[in-house]
């Protein structure tokens, strides 16, 4: 390990906080995002925290941009030890309201962006016997109402990570998947959906969370060091996942009740 890490979605939010957590250990960081101003700010903070590195604009929907990023890591760092597939967008809306374009947009970034990131960097990770950290969501495990396209994309990230855990054990590349619940972040900046009420509801949940993106980054760092595969940073998330594993019907019933409440609230506002 030569302490070289690549992070997508590093221009803000959780990606930035993960960068700062690893920077405090003196790592070299390859920071990628579509937000170049955000990347410049992150690099400044990374250097102040004790790390160093470079930034590169990268849209994870474009595989050629990811392979160019991998090439830059090889040229500047001589390889890579850890990649964090963090870039993601938010969306919501009941299934009947979501367009196929909404589905394509969500899957292309939140799922296929992770697939392409893993694919582009695998040759370098095989050389370094490195690690993949994929950022999913508790939505991957709990499938809340009115967010089917987001749920499916994030569940795909979990399934991909489970598949890679087996496949890549053959080449000594370790895999982790992170499933945070709501936390204080700027995820709403990317929100897309047919219902303004949905964006407002998600915003309230994000703002009311006692857990910050920095807290999540600390927890990820801790659990990666312990070689934990599925990283669940929220205690409530860990409890809910335990319930679902033992009594899935209880969770399905709860989600149906939540959907009814959401619809009732919307009718009252109409």
In Å, what is the CA distance from 135 to each residue of 79, 174, 188, 196?
A: 22, 15, 17, 26
Place of tokens 């997508």: 8
What beta strand segments (E) does the chain contain? 4-8, 28-33, 52-57, 82-85, 131-135, 174-178, 230-231
Name the DSSP class of 108. Answer: I
Give the integer Cα–Cα distance in Å for 81 and 131.
6
Instruction: State the Cα angle at 20 between 82 and 210, rounded to 5°.
Output: 110
**Residue closest to 83 by CA, chosen among 108, 104, 58:** 58
Q: Which residues are catalytic?
A: 150
In Å, what is the CA distance from 155 to each residue of 21, 88, 173?
A: 26, 13, 22
What's the distance, Cα to Cα, between the start and end of the chain in Å?
A: 57
Residue 5: CB atoms within 10 A of its CB come to: 27
Specify which residues 174 forms β-bridges with: 131
What beta strand segments (E) does 108-160 contain? 131-135
Torsions phi, psi for 174 (to 5 deg): -90, 155
- With residue 141 as reference, give the H or E element that holds it: helix 139-142
Tokens for 53, please give them.
């590195």
């Amino acid at each position: 390990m030569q302490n070289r890490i690549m992070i997508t979605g590093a221009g803000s939010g959780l990606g930035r906080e993960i960068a700062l957590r690893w920077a405090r250990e003196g790592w070299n960081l390859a920071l990628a995002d579509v937000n170049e101003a955000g990347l410049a700010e992150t690099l400044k903070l990374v250097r102040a925290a004790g790390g160093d590195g470079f930034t590169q604009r990268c849209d994870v929907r474009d595989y050629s941009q990811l392979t160019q990023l991998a090439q830059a890591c090889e040229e500047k760092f001589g390889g890579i030890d850890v990649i964090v597939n963090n870039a993601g967008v938010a969306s919501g809306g009941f299934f009947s309201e979501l367009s196929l374009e909404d589905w394509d947009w969500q899957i292309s970034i939140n799922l296929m962006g992770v697939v392409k990131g893993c694919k582009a960097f695998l040759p370098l990770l095989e050389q370094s016997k490195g690690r993949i950290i994929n950022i999913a969501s508790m939505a991957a495990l709990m499938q809340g109402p009115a967010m089917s396209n987001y749920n499916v994309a994030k569940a795909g990230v979990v399934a991909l990570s489970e598949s890679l855990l087996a496949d890549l054990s053959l080449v000594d590349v370790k895999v982790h998947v992170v499933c945070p619940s709501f936390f204080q972040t700027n995820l709403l900046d990317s929100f897309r959906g047919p219902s303004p009420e949905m964006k407002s509801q998600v915003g309230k949940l994000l703002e009311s969370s006692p857990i910050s993106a920095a807290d999540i980054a600390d927890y990820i760092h801790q659990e990666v060091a312990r070689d934990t595969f599925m990283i669940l940073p929220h205690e409530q998330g860990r409890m809910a996942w335990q319930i679902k594993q033992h009594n899935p019907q209880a969770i399905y019933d709860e989600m149906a009740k939540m959907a009814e409440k959401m619809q009732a609230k919307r009718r009252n506002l109409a």
